[in-house]
């Protein structure tokens, strides 16, 4: 009756019911629509990124619509690999000498130069010793004089220290007669005390031009340091010292930077002017030289000279020098603004440099010349190839086969040469008898070719296999090696002295490594395959050792039935002792050990454990024998119980019962809501 009422309501108000159901589905559909829009936007973004990464069709010369391949193919030429120095931004040579320092106080204890000229402000210390003792300090006045109360006014302007000492000895000798003569008994010493600073002008392409009060012993080099150094646009090879309005000296610092030779006449005087002009020649030297940089050249120097300034060529340099030259302005046209040419390094002394030259000492092209030795050899790896290199030559480099023990680990009947074939996309395999090569039968010799790979295989029969471990109730427990591939449990027990009197015949547990029953990870398979083809025995042994460590405790129980079961390397055997009991566990009232009674059925042991409780499933009872075999208890087939067996009673399935009251309440609530909606809709839309 209830169902008929629902059907009548739906038929009468079909349109309203459909509208109601559709409105209930709108949130779900709206969410799905948002997800679709989001996925669409991400897809369009991905297509846009792919199109940006693709090469335009006009660059490819068009695409064949049938094959999807470019209509034209491009051949990429072999290019010289650049070194790290080539990729770096080149620096101007020599300029960091003036700037890479934190202090300029290194001249505080400099000795007085012999050619130092005394001037106003200098302090002189005159000492007499011997028959006459005297020590007196004097400061040279602005007029260049010092005054002594006994000797009088003494003029020292323009005198060096040597000249001043000779002059003062004569003047003081007029008062102190013991200073005179060859056999004088009084001696004189003249030294500088406090020093005056001198004012020197630094102009031109210096970092901070101006007048600087500097140390009186300063040279052009130390003075430029105090002035902040030279700008990279300034010359290091044409520094001018002007004194008293005239050009006093020209300084070229390259000899100092490169050879440590200190230029002459670079001692500065008060009111000197140091002029750093703009450098007139900029030469770039890069690639296969010791110190690639931007150098300054002077008139008359050759390309060879500039290469020597750069430290000379490296061992990787070729004999060809590349020159990029800007055509001089007086002969330049629009068509020949640049001139590029090559020359042999032996001819570089014949070509003078020009401003703007770019000298590139080309590097030798890399040439691959090697062969590879793979597999069961003492020293596998890559070896340099040379003309007429033979298999025997390579084997000797790989450790040779003179070791009589090691040679047993090698498979002698077959070895391979993997050789590149220019006429095929696939490599050529050349098999050879390794034994004949080693023993030089009939003087057999095989010459290698560049890039050959020689594979020497291992004799797997020679390598040690894992032993069988047997413990428990045997007469001689221990570790036993397998004697053949099909050795059985019975054979190992006999080799272990047989079972002891306490042993449980069927209570032998066999534990086997999981590696025999599961697929290894893909990466491990790839590593082992690679070990067989690209590495030698040492690395392969390391991989085997790592597998051993990973799986030495990772074993599972092997259920067996006949004592002739075949054993595997690494198996562990445990022979149990007779226990005289049966273990009953699971959903019984009193789980535990029950005394074994020969011939008793499973029901006897279940009853002895108090029987199956209310949670136990009588249709899900199993018997686990000591050898790991498991047999279910069937209504018409009761398994035999032996000493050491385990009986397990499993729990019933947890099924939630059907709650009719809750179902009726939910349906009533739903119908009430539907009726209410229908009534309201009828009132809002009267027919």
How many domains does one find in the chain?
6
Assigned domain for 513 exists: yes
Looking at 192, 212, 229, the residue that finishes a domain is 192
> What number of other Cβ atoms are within 10 A of residue 196's Cβ?
18
Give the DSSP per-residue string, 477-536.
Answer: -EEE--SSTT-BHHHHHHHTT-B-TTEEEEEEEEEEEGGGTSPPPHHHHHHHHHHHHHS-
Is residue 41 scored above 70 in pLDDT?
A: no
Residues 153 and 244 in one domain: no
How many C-beta atoms surround the C-beta of residue 101 within 10 A? 11
Q: In the chain, count H helices and then E strands.
A: 16, 30
Query: In which residue are the tokens 């005289």 written?
Result: 580
Output the 3-class SS for 36-90.
HHHHHHHHHHHHHHHHHHCCCHHHHCCECCCCCCECCCCCCCCCCCCCHHHHCCC
3-state helix, strand, coil in the chain (%, to 5): 30, 30, 40
Among 9-23, 416-430, 626-640, the minimum mean pLDDT is found in 9-23
Higher-confidence position of 351 and 533: 351
Angle ∠(564,566,571) on CA atoms, nearest 5: 120
Quick check: helix, strand or coil at residue 6?
A: helix
The enclosing H or E element of 303 equals helix 303-309
pLDDT tens track for 234-245: 999 999 999 989
497 against 538, higher pLDDT: 497
Tell me what pLDDT residue 99 has. Answer: 77
The pLDDT mean for the chain works out to 80
Please give the structure tokens belonging to residue 361.
Answer: 């000492």
Q: What is the pLDDT of residue 228?
A: 87
Indicate the residue among 160, 192, 224 that finishes a domain. Answer: 192
- Per-residue burial over 617-633, b if 16 or more Cβ lie within 10 Å, else e, is eeebbbbbbbbbeeeeb
Average pLDDT over residues 284-292: 94
Is the domain of 297 the same as that of 257? no
Q: Is residue 51 part of a domain?
A: no
Q: Would 48 be classed as within a structural domain?
A: no
Q: What range defines the domain where residue 323 resides?
A: 282-363
Instruction: Read off the DSSP letter of residue 207.
Output: S
- Tokens standing for 680? 């309201």
Average pLDDT of 53-81?
45
Give the confidence band of 658 by pLDDT, cuts at 50, 70, 90.
Answer: low
Do 100 and 213 lie in one domain? The reply is yes
Q: Specify the pLDDT at position 100.
A: 60
Last residue of a domain, one of 192, 219, 250: 192
- Give the number of other CB atoms < 10 A from CB of residue 227: 23
Q: Which of 40-49, 224-233, 527-536 has the lowest mean pLDDT?
A: 527-536
List of long-range contacts for 676-683, beta carbons under 8 Å, 24+ apart: 677/16, 677/20, 678/9, 678/13, 678/16, 678/17, 681/13, 681/16, 682/13
Question: Do 265 and 413 reside in the same domain of the chain?
Answer: no
Residue 38 covered by a domain? no
CB-based contact 91:282 (threshold 8 Å): no
The per-residue pLDDT for range 100-154, each reduced to its tens digit, is 655 445 455 566 776 778 888 888 899 998 888 989 999 988 888 999 988 999 9
232 shares its domain with 100: yes
Q: Give the span between the Cα atoms of 532 and 623, in whole angstroms.
A: 47
315 and 333 co-located in one domain: yes
Q: Is 31 domain-assigned?
A: no
Residue 69 lies in a domain: no
pLDDT confidence tier of residue 293, bands split at 50, 70 and 90: very high
Residue 444's pLDDT is what? 64
Domain shared by 676 and 583, yes or no: yes
Among residues 360, 337, 254, 232, the alpha carbon closest in space to that of 298 is found at 254
Identify any residues that bridge with 127 across adjacent strands, giving them in sequence order. 135, 189
Domain of residue 672, CATH code: 3.10.560.10
Q: Report pLDDT digits (tens) over 597-611.
A: 988 989 999 899 999
**Cβ contacts of 677 within 8 Å, gap of 6 or more:** 16, 20
Contact (CB, 8 A) for 363 and 83: yes
Q: Does a structural domain hold residue 307? A: yes
Same domain flag for 400 and 503: no
Kindly tell me if the per-residue pLDDT of 290 is higher than 90.
Answer: yes
My answer on whether 260 and 163 are in the same domain is no
In sign, the C-alpha dihedral spanning 51, 57, 59, 62 is: positive
Distance CA 283, CA 298 (A): 10
* Separation of alpha carbons 199 and 268, rounded Å: 9
Task: Count the neighbouring beta carbons within 10 Å of the beta carbon of residue 214.
Answer: 23
* Whether residue 476 is found in the same domain as residue 594: no
CA 179 vs CA 108, 172, 173, 192: distances in Å: 33, 8, 5, 21
pLDDT at 414 over 80: yes
Indicate whether 445 and 509 sit together in one domain. Answer: no
In this prediction, residue 12 carries a pLDDT of 53
Residues 488 and 590 in one domain: no
| CATH number of the domain within which 475 lies | 3.10.560
Put simply, whether the predicted model's pTM sits higher than 0.75 gets the answer no
What is the structure's pLDDT at 65? Answer: 52
For residue 88, is pLDDT > 50? Answer: yes
In a domain, 159, yes or no: yes
């Amino acid at each position: 009756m209830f169902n008929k009422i629902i059907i009548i309501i739906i038929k009468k108000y079909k349109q309203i019911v459909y509208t109601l159901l559709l409105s209930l589905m709108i949130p779900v559909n709206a969410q799905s629509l948002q997800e679709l829009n989001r996925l669409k936007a991400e897809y369009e973004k991905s297509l846009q990124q792919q199109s940006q990464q693709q090469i335009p069709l006009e660059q490819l010369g068009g695409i064949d619509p049938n094959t999807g391949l470019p209509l034209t193919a491009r051949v990429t030429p072999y290019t010289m690999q650049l070194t790290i120095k080539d990729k770096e931004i080149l620096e101007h040579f020599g300029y960091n000498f003036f700037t890479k320092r934190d202090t300029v106080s290194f001249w505080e204890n400099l000795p007085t130069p012999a050619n130092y000229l005394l001037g106003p402000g200098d302090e002189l210390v005159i000492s007499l010793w011997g028959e006459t003792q005297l020590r007196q300090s004097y400061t040279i006045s602005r007029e260049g004089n010092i005054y002594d109360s006994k000797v009088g006014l003494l003029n020292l302007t323009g005198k060096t220290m040597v000249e001043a000492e000779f002059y003062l000895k004569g003047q003081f000798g007029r008062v102190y007669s013991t200073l005179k003569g060859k056999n004088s008994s009084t001696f004189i010493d003249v030294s500088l005390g406090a020093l005056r600073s001198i004012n020197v002008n630094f102009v031109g392409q210096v970092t901070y031009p101006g007048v600087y009060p500097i140390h009186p012993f300063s040279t052009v080099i130390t003075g430029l340091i105090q002035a902040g150094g030279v700008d990279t646009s300034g010359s290091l090879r044409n520094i001018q010292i002007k004194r008293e309005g005239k050009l006093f000296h020209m300084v070229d610092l390259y000899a100092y930077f490169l050879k440590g030779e200190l230029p002459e006449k670079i001692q500065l005087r008060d009111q000197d002017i140091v002029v750093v002009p703009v450098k007139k020649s900029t030469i770039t030297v890069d690639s296969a030289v010791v110190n690639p940089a931007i150098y300054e050249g002077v008139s008359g120097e050759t390309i060879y000279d500039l290469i020597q300034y750069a430290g000379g060529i490296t061992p990787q340099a070729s004999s060809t020098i590349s020159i990029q030259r800007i055509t001089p302005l007086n002969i330049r046209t629009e068509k020949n603004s640049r001139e590029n040419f090559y020359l042999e390094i032996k001819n570089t002394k014949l070509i003078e440099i020009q401003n703007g030259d770019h000298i590139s000492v080309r590097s030798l092209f890399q040439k691959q010349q090697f062969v590879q030795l793979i597999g069961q050899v003492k020293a596998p790896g890559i070896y340099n190839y040379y003309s007429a290199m033979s298999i025997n030559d390579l084997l000797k480099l790989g450790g040779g086969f003179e070791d009589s023990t090691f040679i047993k680990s090698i498979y002698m009947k077959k070895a391979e040469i993997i050789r590149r074939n220019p006429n095929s996309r696939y490599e050529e395999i050349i098999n050879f008898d390794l034994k004949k090569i080693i023993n030089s039968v009939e003087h057999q010799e095989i010459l290698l070719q560049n890039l050959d790979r020689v594979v020497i295989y291992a004799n797997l029969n020679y390598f040690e296999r894992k032993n069988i471990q047997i413990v428990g109730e045997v007469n001689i427990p221990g570790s036993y090696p397998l004697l053949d591939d099909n050795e059985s449990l019975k054979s190992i027990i006999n080799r272990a002295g047989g079972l002891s009197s306490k042993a449980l015949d069927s209570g032998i547990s066999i534990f086997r490594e999981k590696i025999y029953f599961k697929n290894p990870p893909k990466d491990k398979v790839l590593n082992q395959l690679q070990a067989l083809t690209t590495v030698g025995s040492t690395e392969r042994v390391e991989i085997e050792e790592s597998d051993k460590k990973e799986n030495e405790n990772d074993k599972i129980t092997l259920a067996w039935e006949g004592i002739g079961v075949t054993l595997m390397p690494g198996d562990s055997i445990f022979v149990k002792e007779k226990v005289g009991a049966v273990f009953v566990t699971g959903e019984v009232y009193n789980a535990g050990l029950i005394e074994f009674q020969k011939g008793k059925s499973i029901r006897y042991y279940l009853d002895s454990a108090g029987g199956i409780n209310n949670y136990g499933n009588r249709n899900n009872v199993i018997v686990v024998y000591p050898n790991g075999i498991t047999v279910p208890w069937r209504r018409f087939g009761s398994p035999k119980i032996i000493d050491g067996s385990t009986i397990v009673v499993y729990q019933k399935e947890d099924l939630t019962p059907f709650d009719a009251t809750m179902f009726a309440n939910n349906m009533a609530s739903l119908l009430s809501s539907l009726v209410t909606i229908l009534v309201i809709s009828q009132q809002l839309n009267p027919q």
